[in-house]
Amino acid sequence: MKENQNIEWKASWRDEYIKWICGFANAAGGTLVIGKNDKGVVNGLHWDGVPVPHLSAESLDEKAVRSKRLEESVLQENRDSLLRKLHLIEGKYLKRAATLLFHEDPEQYVTGAYVKIGFFETDSDLIYQDEIHGNLFQQVDKTIDLLLTKYMKAYIRYEGLQRVEQYLFPPPALREALLNAIIHKDYSSGIPIQISVYEDKIYFWNNGHLPENWTVEKLLEKHSSQPFNPLIANAFFRTGLIEAWGRGIEKIHNECKQHGAYPPIFDYEPSGLMLLFKGIIPDSQDKATPRTTQKTLGKTPDAILLLLDENSSLSIPEIAERINKSESAVERAIRKLREEGRLKRIGPAKGGYWKIIKR
């Protein structure tokens, strides 16, 4: 297909191109192709790089844009410059990636942009479930918190007199699997990421696609980084949450090996990518279900310790938001933990951190 009076190629969208569409409509019709330059070369336009009409930088959640996740050099910019530095603006419009990363309700613009978790006793017996909404950074944090405090059981063993709690699956591997699902998902599908949790296994599924001519075998080998959503991947790279070397799968394997867990199993079909973690329940352990675990780990002091074990610099408002409690409830729980000698504050309110003395 070549350019002619009825076909126009444009590398990216500009509002002035509306006149071309009007011209086609008033004549014999025509086609406007976005994503090809004047030579007919596809310029690599990805789904997350498409502008969203009538959505401006003022529509974004300022707190999310200014999150301390981003590196200091980026945060020094004003909001518009920051978004341009992340390549999230096209002309005067934001790109789809910006809505997913920083809008308070990205599902206004992208259907199915959330995570769904369910706990199953059997494939047909769903016990309980949750949905995690918000921007993509919030989805990562809230999903991992839910998995560790509600859906997974920590098994107890002893090394001499030392009590050790350990999950069947390594949390860093689960986090890497979640990051991969969120970054590589095909958001045009309208289908949420789905995590199915059983007592001895966890499935991660997302409607994503491997690069052209790739197989699962290729995915498991050393490979280049080819993210399905490069703008989303770049923002996560700037936060330090991922690398840019295509080592996510290798990291998952290494974490499972160090944890003494089975290697993860990958299955790719046209409908999406499935990742399975399998574990062996220790024979000496109580067979309590995660529902029992939720009552134990879900208590406010224990939930706080779990959070601070992952991020010791969290503030009281941040803790309250993550465990869905009031700030006053968190303050009471922290006061109790400090009185019991289980938690200590190191440094000032701003710039300090929490130190766990004992669980």
Whether 316 contacts 327, CB under 8 Å:
yes
Query: Using one digit for the tens of pLDDT, what is the confidence trace for 34-74?
Result: 766 676 655 667 889 988 887 878 778 766 665 545 656 65
Cα 200–chain centre separation: 23
Give one DSSP letter per residue of 41-53, joined into a string: -B----GGGSB-T
**How many Å apart are CA 35 and CA 33, to the nearest integer?**
6
**How many Å apart are CA 181 and CA 55, to the nearest integer?**
26
Task: Confirm whether pTM is higher than 0.85.
Answer: no
User: What is the per-residue pLDDT for 201?
Assistant: 95
User: What is the per-residue pLDDT for 72?
Assistant: 60
pLDDT-wise least confident of 21-25, 207-211, 234-238 = 21-25
Tokens 């890497």 map to which residue?
176
Quick one: which of 295, 148, 278 has its CA closest to 200?
Answer: 278
Beta strands in the chain (DSSP E): 7-10, 31-34, 89-90, 93-94, 115-122, 125-132, 154-159, 162-167, 193-197, 201-206, 265-269, 272-278, 343-346, 353-356
Q: What domains are defined for the chain?
A: 1-44 (no CATH), 115-278 (3.30.565.60), 299-356 (1.10.10.10)
**How many Å apart are CA 185 and CA 272, to the nearest integer?**
9
User: What is the per-residue pLDDT for 41?
Assistant: 59
Query: Using one digit for the tens of pLDDT, what is the confidence trace for 171-230?
Result: 999 999 999 999 999 999 999 999 999 999 999 999 988 877 787 787 777 877 888 999
Query: Using one digit for the tens of pLDDT, what is the confidence trace for 255-303?
Result: 999 988 888 999 988 889 999 999 888 765 444 333 333 333 347 888 8
